């Protein structure tokens, strides 16, 4: 009987691994497009950099979890994960519109711009996740 509950383990592992790869790809793309070096700033104890990157990653993970729950298979989930990544990149550029110096201000240690960027990312992720469920 115990082994029946483990029947879904291979699929679980596949989805977790692919989701992990997608999250790593998202963090790579996000840190590549931003002018500031998030990890150097985090190592230097700049909280805004950690806040913005963390909230942005949550903003990506929200639609990714929706994609996992609604996908027909891992390929379908991956396609929607890539779409979620694109939406988050667009959200980053839209968040910069009212604050063109957003990255410089985050690098300077300002929390307000970091909270703005993180909130925009989570908002985009929530809307993206909800749109995937229809």
Kindly report, residue by residue over 21-47, the tens digit of the pLDDT. Answer: 999 999 999 999 999 999 999 999 999
Give me the DSSP letters along 20-58: HHHHHHHHHHHHHHSSS-HHHHHHTT-HHHHHHHHHHHH
Q: What is the pLDDT of residue 134?
A: 61
Please work out, in degrees rounded to the nearest 5, the angle formed at the alpha carbon of residue 120 by the alpha carbons of 43 and 58: 55
pTM of the predicted structure, to 2 decimals? 0.92
Domain edges within the chain: 47-134
Kindly report, residue by residue over 79-127, the tens digit of the pLDDT. Answer: 999 999 999 999 999 999 999 999 999 999 999 999 999 999 999 999 9
Kindly report, residue by residue over 54-68, the tens digit of the pLDDT. Answer: 999 999 999 999 999
d(CA 62, CA 126): 6
% of the chain exceeding 70 in pLDDT: 97
């Amino acid at each position: 009987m115990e082994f029946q509950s483990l029947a879904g383990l291979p699929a679980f592992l596949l989805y977790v691994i692919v989701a992990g790869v997608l999250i790593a790809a998202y963090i790579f793309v996000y840190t590549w497009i931003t002018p500031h070096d998030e990890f150097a700033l985090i190592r230097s104890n700049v909280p805004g950099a950690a806040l913005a990157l963390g909230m942005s990653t949550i903003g990506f993970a929200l639609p990714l979890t929706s994609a996992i729950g609604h996908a027909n298979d891992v390929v379908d989930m991956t396609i929607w994960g890539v779409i979620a990544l694109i939406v988050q990149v667009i959200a980053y550029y839209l968040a910069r519109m009212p604050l063109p110096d957003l990255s410089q201000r985050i690098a300077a240690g300002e929390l307000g711009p970091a909270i703005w960027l993180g909130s925009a990312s989570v908002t985009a992720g929530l809307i993206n996740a909800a749109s995937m469920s229809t």
